[in-house]
Structure 1
Amino acid sequence: MRSRLIISFISAALIASAGFAQDKNAPTLDELVSKNIEAKGGADALRGLQSLTLTGKMLVQQGQIQLTYVQTKKRPGEVRAEATLQGMTQVEAYDGKEGWKISPFQGRKDPERMSADDVKSLMEDAEIDGPLVDWKAKQSTVDYLGTEDVDGTLAHKLKVMRKNGDVNFVYLDPDHFLEIRILTQRIKHGAQVEVETDLGDYENINGVFIPFSIETGRKGDPDKQKIVIDKAEGNVPVDDAIFRFPTTATK
């Protein structure tokens, strides 16, 4: 009995020691954020990218329908996205204060202001840098949650709690430290929704690595919207008026 107790004690001590060694070797939050910034191109390159225009295609209904897609972002927090099919263009835009949309595919051809809940996703889309860069200045809180499997990749998982209460679970590739998945939890019209975004095919634009493949949809939904970027342009002059609610709209 005594020998079995000694063996059990030694085994427990070895397991605890191994766990301590793993924790000791685990990267810190600051190290992961720093590596993410460097992987994107570095702080100077990120600050130097003041606007970004992405052109490509949007695939919906499991790729059966293809729309022409254009998204324009401009610092400090403006974004406009257009999806065009058969002469009709859907528009969603945010000027840093309010969001609006034109939804011709739902029979609405006049611009409409968006609710505070609906505009949350646009506010995140407006970020050129992503959720980790300058997270303190954004008044977010960030925690490192260890690693988790993402389609066969043991990714670093970070939890970003935003100022507005939204939560992003950011998964970083363990080798390149770029985002490969972002799971967003937010309250929308009184109910919690989870949106999963997979990112890949990064390309260097003006010294900053930008994902050229973006697949988004409700968590667990097999029919996700996929955006494939064909062309990206950085620091092209952009008129702020394109982000604002059209003044000629019928009120």
Structure 2
Amino acid sequence: MIALLLVTASAHALTTDELVAKNIDARGGLDKIHAIKTLRLEGKLRIGGQFELALAEYKKAPDSVRNEATIQGLTQIQAWDGRNAWQISPFQGRRDPEKMSGDDAKSLSDDAAIGGPLADWQAQGSKLEYLGTEDIDGTEAHKLKVTRSNGDIEYVYLDPDHFLEIRTTTDQIVRGTHVETVADYGDYELVNGVYFPFSISLSSKGGSPFDKQQITIEKAAANVPMDDTLFTFPAAAGTGHAAGGAKP
């Protein structure tokens, strides 16, 4: 009887490919994910439970991303064009565009794909491994290990019932220091037939209270026109368009 139970359990065990397929199906299917060529998200970013900024994120397939955070007329910009990253940091008194180092660009490049880390993971140059289940706030979530081409390691936790991401934990080496970031996802909404999380809680293990961030998406639009110059380093540093925010 014990042997029979073990065989039955093994027969129902999910493989890595099956988990990825279930996640993609739950999100809307690979065809609908691929049909989204650009994505614009707008909402609020609350830092440390004290400061609230207007947030805008722009993505363009295959791997360009730009993030903007605005408060009191000042806009922090970070962008990745698939090869290089740059930023404008007015909160640190730097209003001109400046190139970002490879280590500082990791978070941007990891977040650039519209479909996330699991859709087209092979095309992204990642390696994937199923590590069984792990308790996430009372839920026995499926745990997948994603090893990025840049060396970053991301653990993706899928809800056992709906197979959507409920948490990711990212391990990075930034300027010789180990950084571990936790992102919790919720409030999934449909955008052009694809589910995206509209609530994201971010924190760094061992970080300060100001490392805790809450993102709330209020508006989303897919396949809106976006010029490539939105993501590339401005040819004329300090131009009004680059410093004043994106107007795609």
Identity of aligned residues (%): 54
How far apart in 1 are the matches of 2:72 and 2:225? 28
Question: Which residue of 159, 169, 177 corresponds with 1:183?
Answer: 169
Question: Which residue of 123, 129, 138 corresponds with 1:143?
Answer: 129
Question: 1:89 aligns to what?
Answer: 75
Question: 1:8 aligns to what?
Answer: none
Question: 2:230 aligns to what?
Answer: 242
Partner amino acid for 1:124? D
Partner amino acid for 2:217? I
Matched, 1:60 2:43: no
SS in 1 for 2:70: strand
| Aligned counterparts, 1:1-251, within 5 A | 14=2, 18=5, 21-62=8-49, 64-221=50-207, 223=209, 224-249=212-237
SS in 2 for 1:100: strand
How far apart in 2 are the matches of 1:231 and 1:84? 16
Structure exhibiting the larger radius of gyration computed from Cα positions:
1
How far apart in 2 are the matches of 1:153 and 1:182? 14
How far apart in 2 are the matches of 1:139 and 1:107? 37
SS in 2 for 1:133: coil
SS in 2 for 1:118: coil
Q: TM-score, normalised by structure 1?
A: 0.90
Please provide the CA RMSD for this pair.
1.6
Q: CA deviation at 1:22?
A: 3.2
Partner amino acid for 1:229? I
Q: Deviations over 1:139-195 (max 9, x none)?
A: 211111111111111110000111111111000011111111010111110122111
How far apart in 1 are the matches of 2:13 and 2:41? 36
How far apart in 1 are the matches of 2:71 and 2:179? 28
Q: CA deviation at 1:119?
A: 0.5
Q: CA deviation at 1:25?
A: 2.1
Matched length: 236
